[in-house]
Amino acid sequence: MPTHFQSTPIPERENIKHTLIGSSRAVMGTIRVLHQLGYAEVGDWSPLLPSPTHAGEVMSILVRNIMVQ
Identify whether 48 is part of a domain: yes
**According to the model, what pLDDT value does residue 54 have?**
87
Report pLDDT digits (tens) over 19-69.
999 999 999 999 999 999 999 999 999 999 999 998 999 999 999 998 887
**According to the model, what pLDDT value does residue 27 have?**
98
Q: How far apart are CA 28 and CA 45, in angstroms?
A: 10
Q: Half-sphere exposure of residue 38, counting CA atoms within 13 Å on the CB side?
A: 0
Task: Return phi, psi of residue 18, to 5°.
Answer: -110, 135
pTM over 0.85: no
Count of structural domains, the chain: 1
Q: How far apart are CA 56 and CA 69, in angstroms?
A: 40
Identify whether 3 is part of a domain: no
Q: Is pLDDT at 10 greater than 90 in this prediction?
A: no
Range of the domain at 47: 13-68
